[in-house]
Amino acid sequence: MATRRNSTDDPLAPLTLAVGQEDLLLDRAVQQVVAAARASDADTDVRDLTSDQLQPGTLAELTSPSLFAERKVVIVRNAQDLSADTIKDVKAYLDAPAEEITLVLLHAGGAKGKGLLDAARKAGAREVACPKTTKPAERLSFVRSEFRALGRSASPEACQALVDSIGSDLRELASAVSQLVADVEGTIDEAVVGRYYTGRAEASSFAVADRAVEGRAAEALEALRWSLSTGVAPVLITSALAQGVRAIGKLSSARGGRPADLARELGMPPWKIDRVRQQMRGWTPDGVAAALRAVADADAGVKGGGDDPEYALEKAVVAVARAARAGRR
């Protein structure tokens, strides 16, 4: 049987501490340790426990010497919720960890159970950060890293479209990346993402907005009817329209410069700067103002201010498309 390595980057280190509240990342931290243990010993015994299952004395039983000296992985979820007596047991174990046993503590972070967190770090735990992703840029970075990890390339527009389509759930994003990689050959672009996820609420609403701000009224209306027929909430469509028009207003009033500089100034990713620049042709300051008024009227209409939300949306889409073409006359 392989001897234990001591590197804190080693999944077979005596203690792994996974800190955060992102379930997918916490599960992956566990899976990495289990996979490494079973690669070293196919007969590894894995014990996966919730905090209430680890009672005082339980850890001592699980980590006691085995007749067959088998490798073991002991996983403790929600370690911040352990009882005071059990925390004493864990701290005592950290002073003299058993051979061929890997303890994995999943801790939410924060003030609760901080004493255990500090003790684990002091004991030299291998730590894996599992923070909750709260910002769109973080989810975009996650999608890019998923494609890289699978050895595939995806365009910046495709990554953004996937985030727009799927939303904030990392499990769904990871699953979508896996599906695209399995089904599609070559570089994954925005068109591919659109074919797979055009029925998603966010994807449909942004498709309406993109066609409208480009002045393509007929295509925008077609996308609008498709979105509504598939159950997309009208408020998502008015929100997407507002974002599209505001982006054009922001970029048209910004100083010239490279996409990276403008991205920092306007809070947009560089790829979006390039897209909005293409969409800006034909827009005037008066057109932006008129479009925003039309979207505001539609928003009021779909939130109870009118009798026919669909008609309010159609009016807004046509008004935005007309404003997009005003400067081309």
Distance of CA 234 to the CA centre of its chain: 24
Architecture of the CATH domain 201-328? Up-down Bundle (1.20)
Distance (Å, rounded) from C-alpha 213 to C-alpha 283? 9
CB 241 within 8 A of CB 211: no
Distance (Å, rounded) from C-alpha 144 to C-alpha 158? 10
CB 214 within 8 A of CB 242: no
Q: Which fold has domain 15-130?
A: Rossmann fold (3.40.50)
Residues of the chain with CATH 3.40.50.300: 15-130
Instruction: Tell me 13's DSSP state.
Output: S
Tell me the residue type at 217: A
Tell me the residue type at 252: S
Against a cut of 0.75, is the pTM above it? no
Q: What is the DSSP string of 99-155?
A: TTEEEEEEE--SSTTHHHHHHHHHTT-EEEEEPPP-SHHHHHHHHHHHHHHTT--B-
Which pairing describes strands 15-20 and 72-76: parallel, antiparallel, or unpaired? unpaired
Residues of the chain with CATH 1.10.8: 136-197
Q: Which residues of the chain have pLDDT under 50?
A: 1-7
Whole-number pLDDT of residue 229: 79
CA nearest 287: which of 220, 215, 234, 205? 215
Q: What is the pLDDT of residues 271-289, one digit of tens each?
A: 677 778 888 888 999 999 9
Whole-number pLDDT of residue 4: 38
Residues of the chain with CATH 1.20.272.10: 201-328
Whole-number pLDDT of residue 188: 93
CATH of 136-197, one of 1.10.287, 1.10.1060, 1.10.8, 1.20.120: 1.10.8
Q: Which two three-digit tokens encode residue 275?
A: 């897209």
